[in-house]
Amino acid sequence: GNSVTQMEGPVTLSEEAFLTINCTYTATGYPSLFWYVQYPGEGLQLLLKATKADDKGSNKGFEATYRKETTSFHLEKGSVQVSDSAVYFCALSDPSGTYKYIFGTGTRLKVLA
Protein backbone atom coordinates (compact mmCIF):
# COMPACT_ATOMS: atom_id res chain seq x y z
CA GLY A 1 0.00 0.00 0.00
CA ASN A 2 0.90 3.66 -0.07
CA SER A 3 3.00 5.06 2.75
CA VAL A 4 5.11 8.06 3.76
CA THR A 5 8.15 7.90 6.00
CA GLN A 6 9.38 11.10 7.54
CA MET A 7 12.40 11.73 9.73
CA GLU A 8 11.84 11.75 13.46
CA GLY A 9 11.99 15.00 15.32
CA PRO A 10 12.35 17.22 17.05
CA VAL A 11 14.91 19.08 15.00
CA THR A 12 16.57 21.99 16.79
CA LEU A 13 18.59 24.51 14.80
CA SER A 14 20.11 27.90 15.31
CA GLU A 15 18.80 30.81 13.29
CA GLU A 16 20.32 30.99 9.76
CA ALA A 17 21.23 27.28 9.79
CA PHE A 18 20.50 24.99 6.84
CA LEU A 19 17.45 22.77 7.16
CA THR A 20 16.77 19.35 5.67
CA ILE A 21 13.77 17.21 6.62
CA ASN A 22 13.78 13.85 4.90
CA CYS A 23 10.69 12.29 3.37
CA THR A 24 10.44 9.06 1.38
CA TYR A 25 7.35 7.40 0.02
CA THR A 26 6.00 4.19 -1.45
CA ALA A 27 3.14 4.31 -3.90
CA THR A 28 1.70 2.48 -6.84
CA GLY A 29 1.36 4.89 -9.71
CA TYR A 30 2.33 8.54 -9.69
CA PRO A 31 1.14 10.49 -6.66
CA SER A 32 1.35 14.21 -6.10
CA LEU A 33 3.58 15.13 -3.15
CA PHE A 34 3.11 17.86 -0.59
CA TRP A 35 4.66 19.56 2.39
CA TYR A 36 2.29 21.08 4.90
CA VAL A 37 3.20 23.23 7.90
CA GLN A 38 1.33 23.49 11.19
CA TYR A 39 1.99 26.40 13.53
CA PRO A 40 1.05 26.00 17.20
CA GLY A 41 -2.71 25.87 17.74
CA GLU A 42 -3.51 26.10 14.05
CA GLY A 43 -4.59 23.88 11.18
CA LEU A 44 -2.35 22.71 8.36
CA GLN A 45 -1.26 25.07 5.60
CA LEU A 46 0.12 23.98 2.28
CA LEU A 47 3.78 24.92 2.07
CA LEU A 48 4.66 23.50 -1.35
CA LYS A 49 3.74 20.76 -3.78
CA ALA A 50 4.97 18.80 -6.79
CA THR A 51 2.80 16.84 -9.17
CA LYS A 52 5.30 14.87 -11.26
CA ALA A 53 8.82 13.54 -11.26
CA ASP A 54 11.62 16.16 -11.24
CA ASP A 55 9.19 18.96 -10.34
CA LYS A 56 10.55 21.35 -7.74
CA GLY A 57 8.09 22.94 -5.35
CA SER A 58 9.13 26.15 -3.63
CA ASN A 59 7.63 28.70 -1.27
CA LYS A 60 8.91 31.12 1.39
CA GLY A 61 12.50 29.95 0.85
CA PHE A 62 11.60 26.26 1.24
CA GLU A 63 12.21 23.84 -1.61
CA ALA A 64 11.58 20.16 -2.33
CA THR A 65 12.21 18.11 -5.48
CA TYR A 66 10.10 15.13 -6.52
CA ARG A 67 12.69 12.35 -7.02
CA LYS A 68 11.08 9.29 -8.57
CA GLU A 69 14.30 7.29 -8.70
CA THR A 70 14.83 7.58 -4.94
CA THR A 71 11.11 7.95 -4.05
CA SER A 72 11.95 11.03 -2.02
CA PHE A 73 10.68 14.57 -1.46
CA HIS A 74 13.09 16.12 1.04
CA LEU A 75 12.33 19.59 2.38
CA GLU A 76 15.17 22.12 2.44
CA LYS A 77 15.72 25.72 3.42
CA GLY A 78 19.01 27.55 3.22
CA SER A 79 18.60 29.81 6.26
CA VAL A 80 15.91 29.16 8.85
CA GLN A 81 14.31 31.80 11.02
CA VAL A 82 12.72 31.61 14.46
CA SER A 83 9.35 32.08 12.74
CA ASP A 84 9.86 28.76 10.90
CA SER A 85 9.38 26.88 14.17
CA ALA A 86 6.45 24.56 13.50
CA VAL A 87 5.54 20.98 12.68
CA TYR A 88 6.11 19.90 9.08
CA PHE A 89 4.16 17.10 7.41
CA CYS A 90 5.02 15.29 4.21
CA ALA A 91 2.04 13.81 2.33
CA LEU A 92 1.14 12.07 -0.89
CA SER A 93 -2.16 11.93 -2.69
CA ASP A 94 -3.60 8.55 -3.54
CA PRO A 95 -2.83 8.09 -7.25
CA SER A 96 -5.93 5.95 -7.72
CA GLY A 97 -8.01 9.11 -8.07
CA THR A 98 -9.81 9.28 -4.73
CA TYR A 99 -7.76 12.35 -3.73
CA LYS A 100 -7.06 10.77 -0.33
CA TYR A 101 -3.86 11.76 1.40
CA ILE A 102 -1.34 9.63 3.25
CA PHE A 103 0.60 11.69 5.80
CA GLY A 104 3.94 11.20 7.44
CA THR A 105 4.09 11.43 11.22
CA GLY A 106 5.33 15.02 11.21
CA THR A 107 8.65 16.61 12.18
CA ARG A 108 8.77 19.31 14.81
CA LEU A 109 11.28 22.08 14.04
CA LYS A 110 12.50 24.46 16.71
CA VAL A 111 14.69 27.37 15.67
CA LEU A 112 16.66 29.17 18.36
CA ALA A 113 17.64 32.83 18.14
**Residues found near other proteins in the complex (CB under 8 A):** 6, 32, 34, 36, 42-46, 49, 51, 89, 93, 98-101, 103-106
Question: In the complex with other proteins, which residue's Cβ is closer, 57 or 111?
Answer: 57
Distance between CA atoms of residues 99 and 52, nearest Å: 15
Round to the nearest angstrom and report the end-to-end CA distance of the chain: 41
16 CB contacts (<8 Å, ≥6 apart)?
Answer: 79, 80, 81
Question: In the complex with other proteins, which residue's Cβ is closer, 14 or 60?
Answer: 60
Considering the complex, what minimum distance in angstroms separates the CB of residue 45 from other proteins?
A: 7
Considering the complex, what minimum distance in angstroms separates the CB of residue 8 from other proteins?
A: 10
Question: In the complex with other proteins, which residue's Cβ is closer, 40 or 113?
Answer: 40
Question: In the complex with other proteins, which residue's Cβ is closer, 14 or 28?
Answer: 28
